[in-house]
Structure 1
Amino acid sequence: AEEALNANEIPVGCVLVCKATEKVLAKGRNRTNEIKNACLHAEFDAIEKLTMVIPADQIGWNSIKLYVTVEPCLMCSSALRQIGINLVYFGCSNDRFGGCGGVVSIHNNPNLIFSQALIAFGGYRRQEAIILLRKFYITENTNAPVPKKKTGRMLKLEIPDF
C-alpha cells in the first residue's frame, strides 16, 4: 500500500499467501492510474504476478489466502470467488464499493453459482490502512477527473402521479 501511495495511487496493497507454508506467493498494489486500467486493483495485480510464475490452471487457488489493506470491492470480491480463493483478511472497510459486507455481501451470497463462499475477516491492521488512505486523500489527486460544474440546474419539486 505504501508503494501505491508513493506512486500517487490509492494506497491499497495485498499479498497472496500459501495457507500451508505461510509463504508469500505474490504481492500487488493498485496500478489503475499508472497503467491506465481501472481494473488493475491490488488483488488483480497480485493474481497477475502469480500467474506469470505459475500457469493459472496449475494453481490451487483454494490453498491461498489473501491479505489486503482495504476490503475488496465488488469486482474483486466476485473475481476472488470465481477463481476459488476462499479466505481474505482486510484492514478497513470499503464503505463505497465493498463486496465483503461493506456495501454488498458478494463474498458469501448463496445465490451466486460460482464456487464456495469467500470467508472474509475485517480489521487486520485497520488503523494503518486508514492512515494510508487519509494520507492519500488529504493531497491533491492529480489523476482525478475535473468535476463538472453544476450550473443552470433547477430543483424540480413537482412529482408526477402514476
Structure 2
Amino acid sequence: MEGGSRKVCENKGINGGRAPGDGGAAGEAIVYCDFFMRAALAEAARALEEGEVPVGCVFVRVESSTITQAQLDTTSSANCATLEKLIVARGRNATNRECHSLAHAEFAAVDALMRNAVACAGESGDTGKSIPASLADYVLYVAVEPCIMCAAMLLYNQVKKVYFGCGNPRFGGNGTVLRVHMPCKAGENNGVSDSIAGYESCGGYRAEEAVALLQRFYSHENANAPPGKRKRKGVLRERSNC
C-alpha cells in the first residue's frame, strides 16, 4: 500500500514521537494516506512531461488526514472519488516554464491554495474569514523532500505535517541536509523571544517511484538548460532544484 519503502519520521513533539497512524490524543492523530502520495507523484510525472525536474505535491486539510485506516484502505472507485475531493491544492515544479527560481512545487501549491480560497470566498460572499492565514490546517504530500528554501517557507507558514517520498541529499531541508522543520527561535520582539513550533516530517513513502522519475529526468539532456550547461547526466542527482 505504501510502496514498501523505509519510513523515516522526525517528530516535533506530536503524539510523543510515534510514527504516523499510531494514534494519540483525540484530534492529534494524522494518518498517512497513500492516495495522496500517488497524487503528488502524478503531479511530478506531469512536471517531467513538461521538461521540469519531476517534483509534485498536494495539500489536504488536517481533518481529511484523520479518516480511519479502514476507509483509507478501501480501493473502490467511489472511495477514490471521495479522496480526490479532499485534495485542496496541487503544485508541480515549473522553474523553467515560469523562468522563476521560486516556482517550486510547494510554492505553486500554496499559491493554488490561496487562489482557490479567495475564489470560494468570493462565490459565497464571505468577507475573507475563510481565507487561511497560515498552513496550520493543512498536510503536505510531496514526491521529494522539500529543499531548504521550501522547508523554511512551510515552517514560517506553520504547515501541520509533511509526508515526502525520496530524500534530497543536496538540498534537503527536512533532515537530510538541514533540519529546518524543527522548532526554532525567530528572534526577539521588545525583549520577548519569538519561537516557531516546527512541524512533523515523515519520508520514504513510495521513494522508489520518486527516484525513478528523477532518474528519467537526469538520464537525458535538459533541453531547458542554458546552451553552455546542457549535458547528459550519467548519474542520479536526486534534485537540482525542488
TM-score, length of structure 2 as denominator length: 0.58
- Comparing both chains, which one has the higher relative contact order based on Cα–Cα distances under 8 Å and sequence gaps of 6 or more? 2
Is the 8 Å Cα contact of residues 86 and 116 (structure 1) preserved in structure 2? no
Q: Larger helix proportion, structure 1 or 2?
A: 2
Which secondary structure state, in structure 1, belongs to the residue aligned with residue 221 of structure 2?
Answer: coil
Q: CA offsets, 1:39-80, max 9 Å, x none?
A: 110000010011112149721521100000000000000000
1:54 corresponds to which residue? 117
The offset of 1:114, in angstroms, is 5.5
1:130 aligns with 211
- Alignment partner of 1:79: what SS? helix
Aligned residues of 2:62 and 2:160 also touching (Cα < 8 A):
no
1:17 corresponds to which of 39, 54, 60: 60
Q: Which residue of 2 aligns with 1:33?
A: 96
Q: 85, 89, 93: which one pairs with 2:163?
A: 89
Does the 8 Å CA contact 1:18/1:25 hold for their aligned counterparts? yes
Distance 2:101 2:177 in 1: 20
Residues 110 and 117, structure 1, Cα contact 8 Å, conserved in 2: yes
Q: For residues 185 and 175 of structure 2, what CA distance do their matches in structure 1 show? A: 15
CA displacement, residues 84-124 of structure 1 (integer Å, 9 cap, x when unaligned): 10300000110011100111110105344553212110101
Separation in structure 2 between the aligned mates of residue 125 and residue 118 of structure 1, nearest angstrom? 21
Q: Determine if the alignment matches structure 1 residue 142 to structure 2 residue 223.
A: yes
1:81–1:114 Cα contact (<8 Å) kept: no
Structural RMSD (CA) = 1.9
Percent identical residues: 41
State how far apart, in whole Å, the 2-side matches of 1:126 and 1:109 are: 26
Question: Does residue 103 of structure 1 match 2:165?
Answer: no
Extract unaligned runs of 5+ from structure 2. Answer: 1-43, 66-85, 119-127, 187-193, 230-242
Provide the C-alpha distance between the structure 2 equivalents of 1:117 and 1:62, rounded to a whole number of angstroms.
11
Alignment match of 2:147 (pick from 73, 81, 88)? 73
- Distance in 2 separating the partners of 1:72 and 1:25: 19
C-alpha distance in structure 1 between counterparts of 2:209 and 2:117, whole Å: 31
SS at match of 1:89: strand
Unaligned runs of 5+ in 1: 148-162
Contact residue 82 and residue 114 of structure 1 kept, 8 A: no
Correspondence for 2:137: 63
Is the partner of 1:121 in helix, strand or coil? strand
